Amino acid sequence: MDAPHIGRLAAGPRNSIADVEGVTVGHCTLDDGPVQTGVTVVSPHGGNLFAHKLPAAAVVINGFGKSAGLVQLEELGTLETPIALTNTFAVGTIVTAQIRHALQANPEIGRSQPTVNPLVMECNDGYLNDLHAFAVQEAHFRQALAALSADVQQGAVGAGRGMSSFGMKGGIGSASRIVAVGAGDNAFTVGALVLSNFGRLQDLILDGQPLGRALAMAVAEPAEQAPEKGSIIMLLATDAPLDGRQLKRLSTRAGAGLARTGSVYGHGSGDIALAFSTAQQIEAGNECLNMALLPDHLLDPLFHAAADSVEQAIVNALFAAQTVRGRDGRVRECLRERLARLPS
């Protein structure tokens, strides 16, 4: 069974965030008994991001998270490093790795140039992964960088290796949608990538259908009483010319796609969305910015694409994942295996 196509908008040729030209994704996966974790890196363009920044913005839907770099991103509206995803206890290590990477291309950072704002976001993979092992090292960030590609691997890879969704195996998912904007039918792409680690089985909705209830009944699983404690990071890329204010509005619409899958943004859930535009670069030291922007009244198709691509990315993460056994013999079964047990 393949993942259903969400909504009526067409996907790009890869149906991933890499359909936005220049965006690449790399993973480093750690799969060693109780260590089930990793690093995922999203590079918005192939150049020097510190010297050629991109407009960006983020929204914190629910703030139960330990990310780094969001404060300056909120203040300045620019992205100046790749986006790194990992587990909760590895944020500090990957921050240091991000800084070292930026220093290689910009040795005057922190001297004649301003300091760099490393962006690292996380979810807690401690159900399957032994967080106390502190297994993620700076070298793993470098390996993820070296693996950057427009062919985006999904499922139990990279930062998604140990993640859980709806009581099953979660992880990395990606999708894209193409929309026409304005009377001239300008075509723009919105791509999404998620680190999916949230949800309760009975709440799962798949393409509008309450699939979680059927799955729970098939295995006579009792209704869960504990509140949702997972998290999700949702990244949105677009080639539409938007500024930081407009990108914040776009990132907010990620919450619509998340809600459609059955999330209620529970107290213990860290739900963060970030959006960036590749249409125009902001050169460091430029004293006058002259940027083309879409007018706000033309943003609705992009909002639609953001919601659909995030929902699709979550669904794709579930369908791409494989069953994983982790620490203390714990297992997260993948959705495909659960579906195979449903009555025909």
Tokens of 264: 């209620």
Strand partners, 187: 180
Other CB atoms within a 10 A radius of the CB of residue 183 amount to 7
Query: b or e along 222-234 (b: 16 or more beta carbons within 10 Å of the residue's beta carbon)?
Result: eeeeeebbbbbbb
Angstrom CA distances, 97 to 41, 146, 239, stand at 12, 13, 28
**Residue 174 annotated to the active site:** no
Q: What are the distances in angstroms from CA 117 to CA 42, 217, 241?
A: 15, 47, 23
Cα–Cα separations (whole angstroms), residue 234 to 85, 93, 298, 311: 11, 21, 23, 10
**List 16, 196, 231, 263, catalytic entry:** 231
Nearest to 243 by CA among 75, 54, 80: 54
Output phi, psi for 29, to 5 deg: -110, 130
Phi/psi at 204 (5° precision): -65, 125
* d(C-alpha 158, C-alpha 22), whole Å: 20
Indicate which residue of 239, 243, 271, 308 is catalytic.
271
Nearest to 196 by CA among 161, 222, 227: 161
Report phi then psi at 329, rounded to 5. 75, 10
Does the annotation mark 269 as catalytic?
yes
How many whole angstroms separate alpha carbon 264 and alpha carbon 208? 15
Say which of 164, 269, 277, 309 is annotated catalytic.
269
Across the strands, what pairs with 236?
A: 192, 275
Helix (H) or strand (E) holding 245: helix 244-252
Whether 231 is a known active-site residue: answer yes
Amino acid letter at 340?
Answer: A
Q: Which residues are identified as catalytic? A: 231, 269, 271
